Amino acid sequence: METKISASILSADFGNLERELRRAEESGCDMIHFDVMDGHFVPNLSYGVPVLKSIRKYCRLPFDVHLMITDPMKFIDAFADAGADNITFHLEADGDPEKIIEKIRSRGLTAGISVKPKTPAELVFPLIKKLDMVLVMTVEPGFGGQGFIPETLEKISALRKEAERQGCALDIEVDGGIGYNTSPKVRAAGANVLVSGSYIFKAEDMASAVASMRR
């Protein structure tokens, strides 16, 4: 499977998002990862609908929205209207996951579900056929720049194995502590969409950093 890189703008310079989005696009990233935090589901706040709406027009890449919020259902329409291409919500959040997936798809977007490091992969198995993507958190959600949790590798393999058993070409995305060192491990385990924030945005040469994760 081809490896896709999703640039997490949580590590970008918010003083100049237009330039940062251009940099990500010109460096060969495949999509933009947009982390939404509500200060409740995770102990941090980030940005939301008005920011997505403003920056959408400065970038041609698809927007991969990661909702780290307690009540995802309430905001699907707003993020769809603002220009999201994919919406991923957390299995640990409130609401019926099947209904949330249906809602995302009814807006013509792709749907993903995410699991925190301690949530077993098996809980996602019954939903695989309905999903476009599963996001395996490889750090505790809430902050950029943390260290990769190696125990998550087994979860990635278990999910890839189960997706194959069910005959699904599922995207498996990983998020947290992904860079040059961790990329070969997560890819070998079965991940094909790599989110990267600090590693690529803080790199001296973003294009080389992005290319290093595909090698």
User: Per rule CB under 6 A, is residue 112 in the interface with ligand DX5?
Assistant: no
Q: Report how far Cα 3 is from the mean position of its chain's Cα atoms.
A: 14
User: Per rule CB under 6 A, is residue 115 in the interface with ligand DX5?
Assistant: no
Element (H, E) at 210: helix 206-214
Nearer to ligand DX5, 168 or 212 (CB): 212
User: Per rule CB under 6 A, is residue 144 in the interface with ligand DX5?
Assistant: yes
Q: Smallest gap, in angstroms, from Cβ of residue 37 to ligand DX5? A: 7
With H, G, I as helix, E, B as strand and everything else as coil, classify residue 122. helix
Q: Smallest gap, in angstroms, from Cβ of residue 64 to Zn ion? A: 8
Catalytic residues: 35, 175
User: Per rule CB under 6 A, is residue 190 in the interface with ligand DX5?
Assistant: no
Classify the C-alpha dihedral 133-138-140-146 as positive or negative.
negative
Binding to Zn ion (CB under 5 A) within 60-79 occurs at 66
Distances 55 to 47, 68, 82, 86 between C-alpha atoms, Å: 12, 20, 10, 16
- Binding to Zn ion by CB under 5 A, coded x per residue (else -) over 16-55, reads -------------------x--------------------
Nearer to Zn ion, 20 or 35 (CB): 35
Strands (E), the chain: 4-8, 31-37, 63-68, 86-90, 110-115, 133-137, 171-175, 193-196
Residues in contact with 16: Cβ distance below 8 Å, sequence separation at least 6, in sequence order: none
Binding to ligand DX5 (CB under 6 A) within 22-81 occurs at 33, 35, 66
| Cα 194 to Cα 121: distance, rounded to the nearest angstrom | 18
Q: β-strand 4-8 against 171-175: which pairing, if any?
A: unpaired
Beta bridge partner(s), residue 64: 33, 86
Query: Binding residue for ligand DX5 (CB under 6 A) from 4, 5, 7, 10?
Result: 10
Q: Smallest gap, in angstroms, from Cβ of residue 179 to ligand DX5? A: 7
Between helix 17-26 and helix 49-56 the angle, nearest 10°, is 60
User: Per rule CB under 5 A, is residue 175 in the interface with Zn ion?
Assistant: yes
Nearer to Zn ion, 66 or 187 (CB): 66
User: Interface with Zn ion by CB under 5 A: which residues?
Assistant: 35, 66, 175
User: Interface with ligand DX5 by CB under 6 A: which residues?
Assistant: 8, 10-11, 33, 35, 66, 139, 141-146, 175-178, 195-199
